[in-house]
Amino acid sequence: MFIEYKLIEPIYIGKVSMYGISEIVRIIRLTKEVLMVDPYVRKSFKVFAISCLIILGVTEAFAGGFSDSHSDGSLSGWTIHGYRNWYESGGYATPANSSNYSGFLINNYSCTNDGVVEVSITANQWNGHAGGVVFRWTSTSSYYYAVVLPGNSTSNALKFCKNSMNYDYGTVVKENFTVGTTFTLKIELDGGTFTFYINDTYMGEVYDSDHPSGKVGYGYSAVFSDYIDYSSIVWTDVVGNNAPSNIFLSKSSVNEDEPSGTVVGLLSTEDLDGNDSHTYTLVTGTGDDNNSSFSISEDTLKTAEVFDYDLQDSLFIRVRTTDDGVGNLWYEKQFVITVIEVEDLAQWSCTQRVSFNTTDSGAGIP
């Protein structure tokens, strides 16, 4: 049963069908304020929401990816490509028995370039490698393909293929590990780096940048019988982190003769990712001449010495802001701090002395 979800839109949970119960359960609304929290909290919330919806077997959609528990007997939201037919029954999506035709079952959701796909699979011990997980799919000749060979003469291997489902030509991600015929394959897509896990155990990484985007789904190679069943899939969008684009200082001047530790101003950052928090540091580079004369505590720029206007009236520092998003991206900027002269209050003492020296010769005196 296909569930799609879109960020910052209401969650509408439809009828519960996995337990054979027809009822409407409560409506959960996701607002921007709910998600504009610490990214780890946001990620956990999304995983929790997806898990709950899979358990409930809901039919309608919400935010940031999609999931399908294949529990309603319908391939709504999916498209078949190639000559092999597919069907959904008994909690599985399965390639139909047919002649030796290969084909794909691709979900219609437009995935972000980066994200995580997690698929639960039951594969035949000897021929389970006939099917696998497809990602960055744009056509029947342009895609990536991951296949697990469980417990057979190929001795348990995970392989990565490009534009082909022939695992003989694939890249070995890992081999000679223990895995049963029922397992979960998870793939993290980060640019051209693909990280693989089986049952949450790290298997390895592969790098390839030929296909930057595309959809996800299932693939099955040219084998007569249906040797693989897919019981669920979850895709989670990962939106790339934006680097900070500017730094601001609320005040860029300080009076001379102020003690060390005097607050100069508050630092702030311009960043398209409104959820990010930022760390500020003084760094080397152009304009760092007077870095040692200042310190930064959280977002506050402070003096680290007493300044004298007569010795230097302008000071130069270089500040970096680093976000807490993926990759810890940063931006640097030079600031000029002006030292303000403070006039001394002179003590003026003025004594006025007046003296008279008058000679009066009197009238008529020669």
Domains and CATH numbers, the chain: 1-63 (no CATH), 68-238 (2.60.120.560), 246-340 (2.60.40.60)
What digits encode the pLDDT tens for the residues 162-219? 999 988 888 999 988 888 889 999 999 988 999 999 999 999 999 999 999 999 999 9
pLDDT score of 226: 85
With a cut of 50, list the residues of the chain below it in pLDDT. 6-63, 153, 345-352, 354-356, 358-366
For 24-40, the pLDDT digits (tens) are 333 333 333 344 444 44
pLDDT score recorded for residue 151: 67
d(CA 137, CA 218): 10
Please tell me the predicted confidence (pLDDT) of residue 274: 80
Tell me if 319 sits within 8 A of 280, measured CB to CB. yes
How much is the pLDDT for 4? 56
**What's the confidence (pLDDT) of residue 59?**
29
Q: What is the pLDDT of residues 232-242, one digit of tens each?
A: 999 998 877 77
Q: How far is CA 274 from CA 45, 141, 325, in A?
A: 18, 39, 11
Residue the block writes with tokens 């019988």: 225
Q: Residue 350: which residues within 8 A CB-CB, separation 6 or more?
A: none
